[in-house]
Amino acid sequence: MKRPPLTPLADSLPASVPFVGPEALERAGGAPFKARLGANESVFGPSPKAIAAMKDAASEVWQYGDPESHDLRHALAAHHGVAHDNVMVGEGIDGLLGYLARLFVGQGTAVVTSAGAYPTFNYHVAGFGGQLHMVPYRDDREDPDALLAKARETGARLIYFANPDNPMGSWHDAVAVQRMIDAVPEDCLLILDEAYIELSPDGTAPALDMSNPNVIRMRTFSKGHGMAGARVGYALGEAENINAFHKIRNHFGMCRISQAGALAALGDQDYLSEIRAKVAASRERIANIARDNGLTPLPSATNFVAVDCGKDGDFARKVLAGLLEQGLFVRMPFVAPQDRAIRISCGTEQDMKLLGDALPKALSAAS
């Protein structure tokens, strides 16, 4: 029996995912991880008010979610002091990135990003036939000037820039980011990924300007709000750009349980403040463990710490393998020279104890 052919573009793509999930690694290893410190999830979990709201909504899950995410969009608009038509809710930032690629990328469209930055964006661009142009990091941070220069050189339609950054945890201050926004070419859209913004220092995010059609800002409930599995992200932008999502988005993509949880989480800013404190304490604990083992923790504005292992990527991969063998799920950057580091998510006191016990053994095995 003959198989129906894929499109030429689809047929040219690898059947792969940007990340191998911890569940797949657990299945391959035949045992669960003792500590899950690799996916930048919040082990501290969501607000109790969000959990209660999701439990209440579970009995109504026979109903589709509101295709407009009306209540959540209006609450987000009020929270940020913008109009509701400046907000679009979607299936995590990942889902919204896919929609943006569909809206702006065709076969051969030039798109600029940083080599080693968030790979899911690249995955979406490739899926629509875009041509990725990458610039290197500078001093372990994404380089706004280089990104802009490459965009002007290639006539790029999109620039992807994360602030704070994954995988290094680095960041630029609001003045530098605003300078980048002001310099974006008029026929280009800057995608400013601010997934970790709630965990960053004051003065990291520039003021919101919903009149600018050349920037769209991405936020999420996955990090600070501890709801990675609920898949709730949102975009903030100029109204016409936001309205364009309606042309192609999955209108029933948002589960009503997730909508209810996000709405309750947004209303519990006291809990978010508690999480910021816990994340800051855990970052310092990871940094101390690294220093105790002769390694260098890099400054972080996120819920993880990149730890410089002091040698090259091959050595760091051995350290990573040693931690995995001891039941600790961690990840690392995949492009040199950032791959000299491993990336450790914040965790509980028990997680940190396991890390403190496992790291010297992993380093010894790697040497």
For domain 18-45+270-366, give its CATH number from 3.40.50.12280, 3.30.450.20, 3.90.1150.10, 3.90.420.10. Answer: 3.90.1150.10
Q: What is the 3-state secondary structure (H, E, C) of the chain?
A: CCCCCCCHHHHHCCCCCCCCCHHHHHHHHCCCCCEECCCCCCCCCCCHHHHHHHHHHHCCCCCCCCCCCHHHHHHHHHHHCCCHHHEEEECHHHHHHHHHHHHHCCCCCEEEEECCCCHHHHHHHHHCCCEEEEECCECCECCHHHHHHHHHHHCCCEEEEECCCCCCCCCCCHHHHHHHHHCCCCCCEEEEECCCHHHCCCCCCCCCCCCCCCEEEEEECCCCCCCHHHCCEEEEECHHHHHHHHHCCCCCCCCHHHHHHHHHHHCCHHHHHHHHHHHHHHHHHHHHHHHHCCCEECCCCCCEEEEECCCCHHHHHHHHHHHHHCCEECECCCCCCHHHEEEEECCCHHHHHHHHHHHHHHHHHHC
Rounded CA-CA distance 219/240 in Å is 19
Angle (CA) 340-344-347 rounded to 5° is: 170
What's at 303, amino acid-wise? N
Cα 262 from chain centroid (whole Å) = 17
Is 3.50.40.10 the CATH classification of the domain at 48-267?
A: no
Rounded CA-CA distance 282/269 in Å is 20
Mean pLDDT by groups of 10 residues along the chain of 367 residues: 93 88 93 97 98 98 97 98 98 98 98 97 97 98 98 98 98 98 97 98 98 98 98 98 98 97 98 98 98 98 98 98 97 97 98 98 97
The pLDDT assigned to 16 comes to 83
Domain ranges of the chain: 18-45+270-366, 48-267
Angle (CA) 347-352-356 rounded to 5° is: 150
* Phi–psi pair at 195, nearest 5 degrees: -60, -35
What is the rounded end-to-end Cα distance, in angstroms, of the chain? 54
